[in-house]
Amino acid sequence: MSQTSTEAPPIVSRNTAVGWLRQMLQIRRFEERSAKLYQEQKIGGFCHLYSGQEAVAVGSIGVLREDDYVITAYRDHGHALARGMDPKLGMAEMLGKSAGCSRGKGGSMHFFDAEKGFLGGHAIVGSHIPLAAGVAFASKYRGQDNVCICFFGDGAMDQGSLHETFNMASLWKLPVIYVVENNLMSMGTHLHRHSWTTDLTIRGGTAYGMPGVLVDGNDIEEMARITREACLRARAGEGPTFIEAKTYRFRGHSMSDPMKYRSKEEAEKAKERDPIVLYESLLKERGWIDEQALEDLHEKIKVEIEEAIEFAENAPEPTADELYQDVSVATHIPQES
Amino acid sequence: MAMSTYREALRQAMDEEMERDDAVFLMGEEVAEYNGAYKVSQGLLDKYGPRRIIDSPISEEGFAGIGIGAAMVGLRPIIEFMTYSFSLVAFDQLVNNAANVRYMSGGQFTVPIVFRGNSGIAGALGATHSHRPEALYAHIPGLTVMMPATPADAKGMLKAAIRSDDPVIFIEHENLLGEKGEVPDDVDYLVPIGKADVKRTGSDVTIITYSRSLVTSLQAAEQLAAEGIECEVIDLRTIRPLDLDTILESVVKTHRAVIVEENWPYCGVGAGVADRIYHKVFDELDAPIKRVTSLDVPVPYAKSLERLVIPSVEKVVAQVKDVCYRS
Amino acid sequence: MPIEVTLAKLSPTMESGQIVRWAVKVGDKVKEGDLLAEVQTDKAVMNMEAFDDGVVAHLDFKEGEDIPLGRRVLVMAKKGEDLQEVAAKAAGGAASTTVPAASNGQSATAPAPAAVAAAAPAAAPADPGGRVRSSPLARKVAAEAGVALAQIPGTGPNGRVVRADVEAHLQKKPAAPAAAAPAVRTFAPGEIKRIPHTPMRKTIAKRMLESKAASPEIHVTVDVRLDKLMAVREALNSQLAPEKIKLSVGDFITKAVALALRKHPGLNASWETDALVIHPDVNVGIAVAMEGGLMVPVIQHADQLGLREIRIATEAVAGAVRSGTLKPAQMMGGTFTISNLGMYGVKQFDAIINQPEVAILAVGAGEKRPVVEGDAIVVGTVMSTTLTADHRAVDGALAAEFMRTLRGFLEEPATMLL
């Protein structure tokens, strides 16, 4: 188990650090504007927001190589943006346009970006955990040293697919990094009510013979440091790592969640440890950014997300003939009358 | 051409494709050191080693998903289910991931994978081990479902499945594994996906079938010929996509159709096929389409009961006569 | 063991047949030699007779159904056998549907009411609401033929009208009676009449199309003066009058053709893919029209027969054609065919070769025409006749030579004696 420390020497350069802050701000703005668009009924279906958890995605994905892979669950906007997806493509997907990152076929829960090595956006809890092992299997099969990082929530800890896969990933020493974003909530069920132990490193790490590391998910640089270590292990052929990132979901499970299951106090307390606020303070402390630059950064992000929304709103609706496209590589023959 | 069993034909297909393409590997329970629970993969570990012939734990959902992940980044896995009854444990992976990833990603990721294994009411295995899940999978857009009935088709179809860029549900039949037949040696012998095969020509009635029921249907056709009824027997081979052209051409000729399958009747493959026929050539039919299916019960253990469940030659003969208005 | 009667081969090319009329019904006593049914083959309507004594227990087919050769069509119970039991076996268990209680004098037990209802499918084709049960295909065929389904007895389950019922109905349907002359001339909408192809029609259609498709034809026409022939005919006919034999011009043509074929064996031949087959015998086929088609009975060894024999043979086969009693053997072995439409006043026409023969002669009417004799125009009896020859086998010169020979024989009948 690692202790977080703001006194440790920085593991990143100033440029990288400011870049990370910028990404976190971008994600936060993207999510908050999505909430607005959802309420305006421009975004449909289920919409799960990542606000409050930004440091987990940005800190871990931030240390990956370009040829590594990222795969995540349905709360996927943050990971896609952290991996460098253009927010225009993400927003267009939210609005169901064919200019979207999944051509309007996936929606909020199913973001994909092959160019960035972003393998989705998977909405059945735990279902993508074997896929991550498969991606890692392919790297190993080919004798390559790229890795796959896989994110999921604490709810997925209870799925069979996770336990089957962890066993095989460890057995075959696959270069995969599993990150559970423990926001204490399996949808609306608190961790202590859905897991026999609240220490997930035991269930996910110890049980399968892989290192289980607990990290403060609000500490972006610690998140980065731990992930980097896991990458080194994986690239060296030493197998998978399990990281439990303690974090907090500022918003409900989805847009229709009134959050009756947790107290106002708990939420208020969590917001005091807002990862963005923490990192802004740290960077100011280090003298890497000043108030003016910070304000400019916020302003730039606002403009960027407004442009993304404008792009998405102006993008054409998918045409009916796109309906049958991309069902299969071979020509899809609809089994209709 | 050489005589081979259905089992050997499947092995030849995997062997030839693995030799041709290093991206192809075989993973599943007991495929390597045990040489396959049904000996389909016999000898492959010796030839290709543990990197490409991989024994998995009994974790169908897990290794099915591992196969899909590997396929998403360009490998061409063959995932063996010891029997297709066990694929139900991996149903989520097959239906939600294999079938959907390409569509949901707007065409950015493809899943060139083959899930294969045997199925069928093979004999005193009881309800859990006698599943015929083809209708479940044929229901799903994005999946290809193939079911060979002869050794030659087993080889040519499996090779085509492995070369396909789409996920293929490849369902063999346990009772056909020992069937012998001429099998082409050509390393590029491929049976096109989505192409049915007229296994017997006839003018009076069209029998539409696949997998082991082909054997039953051909026996029935033989018996009916002696009584002056000439059956055209169509082996679907690919269940999805359906080769509707071949079916309609025949039904327009005979004006009668009987569908024979080991599947359950309700929402079975035959229900879908009959629906398509009714829509397309209603005015060509001189009798309602009849179906011979398994009976609508879980598969019993006792052989005397199990025998009642399976489509028999007698049942096929009776239904054919019925659509011919003959007694 | 009950007696099973199967559909017999009643013509050389027959592959299937139809019962035009059942002469017996279930329950009838049958003696050897009794007529069982009239059967339409691809050539003719033939009588099918009983070879055994018995009681009819089961009929396998309805009138009009197409029946493959060798298929069982009727079952008879032998003396001492239980009719009901035989019928049940024959019908595969459905005894009461094949032995109506009314015609079953042997069984005292009354069949169940439900079975009686099922015994008369033709009686109730429609349900109480007036809806006619029918197969989609039957509806389509009926609509195309313009007949109402309600008129057609259904033989399928629950009285369903199936295609075979519609076709059987169409074959039986009489021509619409002429309407009485109306006071004001109005024109009732006509009814399209669809005549389903008989096996003979199908055979003619198939063979003519094949012939046209296969052979590049040439046509050679000559005019033949018949004055001398007419005189000889008159003389011979007066001699034959006591025998009530009257030679026709056609008989002379048959004889002349047969002799011409002897001189030009290249036309007494069959075309095969790899060889031309020259036949040793000259057997002349004569096209004979009949209702619904035509048949070609054969005069065997016509070159060796006298005119009297030719007349007798021709009369015999033509009569058999008209009465539907032509035997398969009488249609076989032809090497050349004559088609004569002279009796209809046709001046000239072309016939289609009866493959695999290589030529056919089309004969027009003998008629009085102006003929140039020297420098004068006189009236003479002249007949135009046209040879259609398969150019694969017969070149123009050979065709012309044949026609010259034929013309010679006909214009100077005495030369036929040489």
For chain C, the 3-state helix, strand and coil shares in percent, each to the nearest 5, are 35, 25, 40
- Residue that has been written with the tokens 């313009």 in this structure: C146
Is the CB of residue A320 less than 8 Å away from at least one CB of chain B? no
Q: How confident is the model at residue C15 (pLDDT cuts 50, 70, 90)?
A: confident
Distance between alpha carbon C284 and the CA centroid of its chain, in Å? 18
Percent share of chain C, pLDDT over 90: 38
Q: Residue C121: is its pLDDT beyond 60?
A: no
Report, as an integer, the average pLDDT of C280-298.
90
* CA B228 centroid distance within chain: 31
Give the per-residue pLDDT at A183.
87
Residues of chain B with Cβ-Cβ distance to C93 below 8 Å are 327
- Alpha-carbon distance of C35 to C30, in angstroms, equals 9
User: Taking 50 as the threshold, does the pLDDT of residue C119 lie above it?
Assistant: no
Q: By three-state DSSP, how is residue B40 classified?
A: coil
Q: What is the pLDDT of residue C69?
A: 81
Q: What is the pLDDT of residue C145?
A: 86
| Angle formed at CA A39 by CA A35 and CA A43, multiple of 5 degrees | 75
A95: which 2 tokens?
A: 């609005």
**Does the global pTM surpass 0.90?**
no
Q: Which residues of C are catalytic?
A: 391
What's residue B101's pLDDT? 98
Q: Which of A314-328, C62-76, C109-123 has the lowest mean pLDDT?
A: C109-123
Which two tokens mark A223?
């998140």
Of B8, B16, B17, B60, which one is the catalytic site residue? B60
CB–CB of B284 and C164 under 8 A? no
Q: How big is the B-C interface in CB pairs under 8 Å?
A: 35
pLDDT of residue A51: 93
pLDDT confidence of residue A7: 56
| Rounded CA separation A193/B92 (Å) | 26
Note whether A147 and A169 are within 8 A (CB). Answer: no
Task: Give per-residue pLDDT as tens, C332-346.
Answer: 899 999 999 988 889
Calculate the average pLDDT of chain C: 83
- Coarse DSSP helix, strand, coil percentages of chain B, rounded to the nearest 5 percent: 40, 20, 40
Interface contact flag, B228 C71, Cβ < 8 Å: yes
| Secondary structure E strands in chain A | 69-72, 118-121, 148-153, 176-182, 185-186, 189-190, 212-216, 241-246
Q: Hey, is the C-beta of C62 within 8 angstroms of any chain B C-beta? A: no
Cβ–Cβ < 8 Å for C132, C157: no
CB spacing of C92 vs B327 below 8 angstroms: yes
Q: Is A328 on the interface with B (CB under 8 A)?
A: yes
State mean pLDDT over C386-399.
95
Active site residue B60: yes
For residue A251, give the nearest of A25, A34, A43 by alpha carbon. Answer: A34
- The pLDDT tens digits for B267-301 are 999 999 999 999 999 989 999 999 999 999 999 99
Q: Return the residue in B229, B253, B325 with the most chain C beta carbons within 10 A, the one to mutate for interface testing.
A: B325
b/e per residue B175-200 (b: at least 16 CB within 10 A) = bbbebebebbeeeebbbebbebbebb
Q: What are phi and psi of C339, to 5 degrees?
A: -120, 120
Take residue C372 and report the two structure tokens written for it.
């140039």
Least confident of A203-207, C106-110, C311-315, C359-363: C106-110
Question: Which residue ranges in chain B fall short of pLDDT 70?
Answer: none
Under the banding of pLDDT at 50, 70 and 90, the label for residue C270 is: very high
To test the contact with chain B by mutation, choose from C61, C137, C152, C163 the residue with the greatest count of B C-beta atoms within 10 A, namely: C137
Q: Does B291 touch chain A (CB under 8 A)?
A: no
d(CA A130, CA B113): 15
Cα torsion A283, A284, A289, A291 to 10°: value is 140
Is C118 a residue whose pLDDT tops 80?
Answer: no
C-beta atoms of A168 and B110 within 8 A: no
Three-class secondary structure of residue B212 per DSSP: helix
pLDDT of residue C84: 85
Structure tokens at B66: 């591992």
**Residue A130 and residue B62: Cβ atoms within 8 Å?**
yes
Distance CA A24, CA A29 (A): 9
Q: Residue ranges of the alpha helices (H) in A63-159?
A: 77-82, 87-94, 129-141
Nearest residue, CB atoms, B255 vs list C68, C137, C139: C137
- The full DSSP string for B74-125 is T-EEEEEEEEGGGGGGGHHIIIIIITTHHHHTTTS-----EEEEEES--SS-
C20-50 tens-digit pLDDT: 888 898 888 888 778 888 888 777 777 787 8
Concatenated DSSP letters of A140-160: HHTT----EEEEEEGGGGG-H
Q: Do chains A and C touch (3 or more CB pairs under 8 A)?
A: no
pLDDT of residue C111: 38
Residue C117, pLDDT above cutoff 60: no
Q: Which two tokens stand for residue C293?
A: 């088609």
Q: Residue C135: which of B228, B287, B327 has the nearest Cβ? A: B287
Which residues in B lie closer than 8 A to residue C71 (C-beta atoms)?
A: 228
Closest listed residue to residue A43, CA positions, set A89, A99, A102, A108? A108
Cα–Cα dist A2/A229, whole Å? 12
What's chain B's Rg over C-alpha atoms?
19
Per-residue pLDDT of chain A (337 residues; tens, 9 = 90+): 444 445 567 789 999 999 999 999 999 999 999 999 998 889 988 899 999 999 999 999 999 999 999 999 999 999 999 999 999 999 999 999 999 999 999 999 999 999 999 999 999 999 999 999 999 999 999 999 999 999 999 999 999 999 999 999 999 999 999 999 998 888 888 899 999 999 999 999 999 999 999 999 999 999 999 999 999 999 999 999 999 999 988 888 777 777 777 788 887 888 888 999 999 999 999 999 999 999 999 999 999 999 999 999 999 999 999 999 999 999 999 998 7
Asked if C139 is an interface residue toward chain B (Cβ–Cβ < 8 A), one would say yes
Q: Are the beta carbons of C141 and C163 closer than 8 angstroms?
A: yes
Question: What radius of gyration do chain A's Cα atoms show?
Answer: 20
How far apart are alpha carbons A274 and C159 in whole angstroms? 81
